[in-house]
A and B are shown apart, each in its own frame.
Chain A
Amino acid sequence: MKDITIYITDRNGTTHEVLAPTDMNMNLMEIIKSYELAEEGTIGVCGGMAMCASCQCYIESDHELPEMSYDEDLMLAEAFYVKDTSRLGCQLFITKNLEGLKVTLAPAEG
Chain B
Amino acid sequence: MIKTDILIIGAGPTGLFTVFEAGLLKLKCHLIDALPQPGGQCAEIYPKKPIYDIPAFPEILAGDLVTNLMKQIEPFQPGFTLGERAQTIEKQDDGTFIVTTNKGTKHHAPVVAIAGGLGSFEPRKPPITNISDYEDKGVEYIIRDPELYRNKKVVIAGGGDSALDWSIFLATVAESVTLVHRRNEFRGALDSVEKVQELKNAGKIELITPAEIIDVVGEIKVQGVSIKRGAEVFNKACDHFIPLFGLAPKLGPIADWGLEIEKNAIKVDNTLDYQTNIPGIYAIGDVNTYPGKLKLILCGFHEATLMCQSAYQRIFPDKRYVMKYTTVGGVEGFDGSKKEAPKAVVKSID
- Mark A27-54 against chain B: 1 for CB-CB distance below 8 A, else 0: 0000000000001111001100101101
Provide the bound-state CA to CA distance between A81 and B246, in Å: 16
B265 touches A41 (CB 8 A): yes
A52 near B248 (CB under 8 angstroms)? yes
A74 touches B182 (CB 8 A): no
Q: Is there a chain A Cβ closer than 8 Å to B229's Cβ?
A: no
Partner of B45, one of A41, A42, A46, A81: A46
Give the number of residues in B that approach A within 8 Å (Cβ atoms).
27
Query: Chain A: how many interface residues by the 8 Å CB criterion?
Result: 21
A40-B265 contact, Cβ under 8 Å, with A52-B248, A74-B187, A78-B245: yes
Least distance between A49 CB and chain B CB atoms (Å): 6
- A110 and B263 contacting across the interface, CB-CB below 8 Å: no
Measured in the bound complex, the distance between the Cα atoms of B118 and A46 in whole Å is 10
Tell me the bound Cα distance from A109 to B187 in angstroms.
Answer: 20
CA distance A78 to B243 in the complex (A): 11
Given contacts A73-B185, A77-B185, 11 further A-B contacts (CB under 8 A): A39-B263, A40-B264, A41-B118, A41-B251, A46-B45, A49-B45, A77-B183, A78-B182, A80-B127, A82-B182, A109-B127
Find out whether the CB atom of A109 lies under 8 angstroms from the CB atom of B264: no
Interface residues of B (CB under 8 A from A): 41, 45-46, 49, 118-119, 124-127, 158-160, 181-183, 185, 187, 245-246, 248-249, 251, 263-265, 289
* Residues on the B chain within 8 Å of A78, using CB: 158-160, 182, 187, 245-246
CB of A10, distance to nearest CB on chain B (Å): 15
Is there contact, CB below 8 Å, between A74 and B185?
yes
